[in-house]
């Protein structure tokens, strides 16, 4: 090495004015975080429940559901599951999304999965700025959110907030009412500490949070209200909180009440995913409810979820929404 080369590799005696210290060559970051979504960060986020669906997160059930055969109640399932049938239904549902032009990502956990990992709707909720990571309320599900956090990072999607303290929250308890407001259910899975933290982070971007108490013995707010268009919501009669219905009406929604409670209870007729304005994915075998949806001008894409339903969830619960068109 020549003396000139050695000299070029030496640290300068004077660093003031160099790019590293803000001098010539420094380039200041100017754009807001939201402007970097879809550029520095992967395209993601939602600000409605009804705009066209573009990408989802799912987890194909595996050997982790085997404990359902011994004691399904201990892992919060309704009955033992047949793994082969559950996987076949899950594969068909994922393909139905692809057939509708929706990109499907899988959690693909590192290491052993927990029995309920497949219920991706519970494990995060998307905002226009990135994900709010869930903190499931049950010890059976504690830690599932770690796998989703890792996968979101792998996909290049930002995590806006991780809940702390004694907050518990599951994503199926929160829905976008308008681009400026969300509704959230307070109950078994989501507590006030979580609502306070979520409301604070959303308020930073000008989004208001409306919280409602849910009836005792219910699971998620998703099981009471589903929004299927900019001006149409479906509700479960005698279960949806009065204040929640009034808030929907005050924000320009028509609220239609599902007519057949037996189909809602026994075959997950209400466990739907909105694919786009008045277009949904729903569970097969619900003729009365399907006719009700179609009577409202809603196009239905039907999938089988009989076996998966034994785990206490169906299409809506199994689907983590990652991206919709912005409204």
In a domain, 1, yes or no: no
In a domain, 27, yes or no: no
pLDDT value of position 7: 59
Provide the terminal-to-terminal Cα distance of the chain, rounded to the nearest Å.
61
pLDDT value of position 10: 73
Q: For residue 113, give the DSSP letter.
A: P
Half-sphere exposure of 59 (CA within 13 A, CB side): 28
pLDDT value of position 12: 75
Burial class (CB in 10 A: 0-12, 13-18, 19+), 20: exposed
Pairing between β-strand 159-162 and β-strand 208-213 as defined by DSSP bridges: unpaired
How far is 281 from 316, CA to CA, in rounded Å?
8
pLDDT value of position 236: 95
In a domain, 16, yes or no: no
How far is 14 from 260, CA to CA, in rounded Å?
78
Reported pTM: 0.94
In a domain, 8, yes or no: no
Q: Per the structure block, which two tokens stand in for 185?
A: 């259910």
pLDDT value of position 1: 61
In a domain, 7, yes or no: no
pLDDT value of position 5: 63
Whose structure tokens read 């300068």? 12
Answer yes or no: are the C-beta atoms of 293 and 280 closer than 8 Å.
yes
Q: Which domain holds residue 146?
A: 35-324
pLDDT value of position 6: 63
Mean pLDDT, consecutive 10-residue stretches, the chain (327 aa), reads 64 87 94 94 98 98 93 93 97 98 96 95 98 97 97 98 97 98 98 98 97 95 97 96 98 97 93 98 97 98 96 96 97
**DSSP 3-state of 61:** coil
Report the domain count for the chain: 1
How far is 134 from 194, CA to CA, in rounded Å?
9
In a domain, 17, yes or no: no
In a domain, 61, yes or no: yes
In a domain, 219, yes or no: yes
pLDDT value of position 4: 59
CATH code where residue 117 lies: 3.75.10.10
């Amino acid at each position: 090495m020549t003396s000139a080369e050695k000299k070029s590799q030496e640290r300068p005696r004077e660093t003031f004015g160099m790019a590293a210290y803000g001098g010539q060559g420094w380039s200041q970051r100017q754009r807001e975080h939201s402007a970097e979504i879809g550029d520095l960060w992967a395209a993601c986020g939602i600000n409605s429940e009804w705009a066209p669906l573009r990408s989802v997160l799912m987890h194909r059930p595996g050997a982790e559901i085997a404990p359902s055969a011994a004691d399904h109640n201990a892992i919060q399932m309704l009955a033992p599951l047949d793994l082969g049938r559950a996987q076949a239904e899950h594969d068909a549902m994922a393909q139905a999304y692809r057939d509708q032009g929706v990109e499907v990502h899988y959690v693909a956990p590192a290491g052993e999965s927990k029995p309920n990992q497949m219920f991706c709707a519970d494990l995060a909720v998307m905002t226009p700025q990135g994900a709010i990571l869930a903190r499931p309320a049950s010890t059976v599900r504690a830690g599932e959110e770690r796998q989703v956090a890792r996968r979101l990072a792998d996909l290049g999607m930002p995590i806006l907030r991780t809940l702390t303290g004694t907050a518990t929250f599951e994503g199926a308890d929160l829905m976008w009412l308008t681009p400026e407001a969300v509704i959230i259910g307070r109950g078994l899975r989501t507590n006030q500490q979580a609502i306070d933290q979520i409301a604070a982070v959303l308020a930073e971007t000008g989004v208001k949070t409306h919280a409602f108490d849910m009836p005792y013995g219910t699971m998620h707010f998703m099981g009471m209200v589903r929004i299927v268009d900019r001006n149409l919501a479906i509700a479960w009669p005698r279960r949806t909180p009065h204040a929640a219905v009034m808030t929907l009406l005050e924000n320009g929604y028509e609220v239609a009440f599902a007519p057949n409670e037996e189909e809602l209870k026994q075959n997950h007729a209400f466990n739907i995913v909105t694919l786009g304005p008045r277009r949904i994915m729903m569970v097969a075998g619900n003729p009365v409810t399907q006719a009700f949806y179609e009577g409202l001008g809603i196009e239905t894409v039907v999938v089988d979820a009989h076996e998966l339903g034994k785990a206490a969830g169906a299409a809506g619960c199994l689907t983590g929404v990652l991206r919709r068109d912005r409204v």
